[in-house]
Amino acid sequence: DIVMTQSPDSLAVSLGERATINCKSSQSVLYSSDNKNYLVWYQQKPGQPPKLLIYWASTRESGVPDRFSGSGSGTDFTLTISSLRAEDVAVYYCQQYYDAPLTFGGGTKVEIK
Amino acid sequence: EVQLVESGGGSVQPGGSLRLSCAASGFSFSIYWMSWVRQAPGKGLEWVANIKQDGSDKNYLDSVKGRFTISRDNAKNSLFLQMNSLRVEDTAVYYCAKQRDPIATPLSIYNSWGQGTLVTVSS
């Protein structure tokens, strides 16, 4: 199984400041035939199901604010919130869809400092 | 609007059984792989099982193989998870999830989730 490791476990960021979350996979999730990274980011607010934010590592889902961006390739990925807003308080998960079984990172909790 | 509504959760003793249901609406249910994903209290997400559009292919997390069975009824736009020989470690909120695009592969991302149903396994 591909192991997804997120860091940090939690972070506190001031409103308007940048938040950076890292995700590392135990093997590459870059598929050579299409040059796509099979990596997705979800946001989960308390008491709610996850919400799709970014797929193919860097493609923003429709309706997701552009302060959310994804980057990285191969085994190392980053989710960046460029200017944190109060409504961004949540747990963020990465997930690989390169190979079965689908696996998630352990989550990163983002709070307001 | 896509809606996924889970039901059937509850409290059960170890070794017991439960059958979860997911009622889908607002999309063409029969053309999507569907999945169950669970989340233990205060923990992260864990994919459990998925099923192909016509029910001919099913995949399971190793720890639930032989105990859980995923199925679907496309005529009734419904997804099911029969859970037998339940263990304490199966305690979680179980989500029904729809793949983003109606593709042939089970390796999916999910753009629609239900609110979940809580399964508690305890003596």
Q: What is the pLDDT of residues B81-109, one digit of tens each?
A: 999 999 999 999 999 999 999 988 888 89
Q: Residue B121: phi, psi to the nearest 5?
A: -110, 110
Task: Decide if B99 contacts B5 (C-beta within 8 A).
Answer: no
- d(CA A104, CA A25) in angstroms, rounded, equals 10
- Positive or negative, the Cα torsion across B61, A110, A22, A53? positive
Residue A13 identity: V
Average pLDDT over residues A73-87: 98
Record: contact A93-B44, CB cut-off 8 A: yes
The reply to whether A40 touches chain B by the CB within 8 Å rule is yes
Q: List % helix, strand, coil for chain A (3-state, nearest 5).
A: 5, 50, 45
- d(CA A45, CA A88) in angstroms, rounded, equals 8
Q: pLDDT tier at A18 (50, 70, 90 boundaries)?
A: very high
Q: Residue B64: phi, psi to the nearest 5?
A: -115, -5
- Three-class SS state of B41: coil
Q: Bridge partners of B39?
A: B45, B93
Average pLDDT over residues B66-75: 98
- Closest CB from B44, B95, B113 relative to A104: B44
Q: pLDDT tier at A66 (50, 70, 90 boundaries)?
A: very high
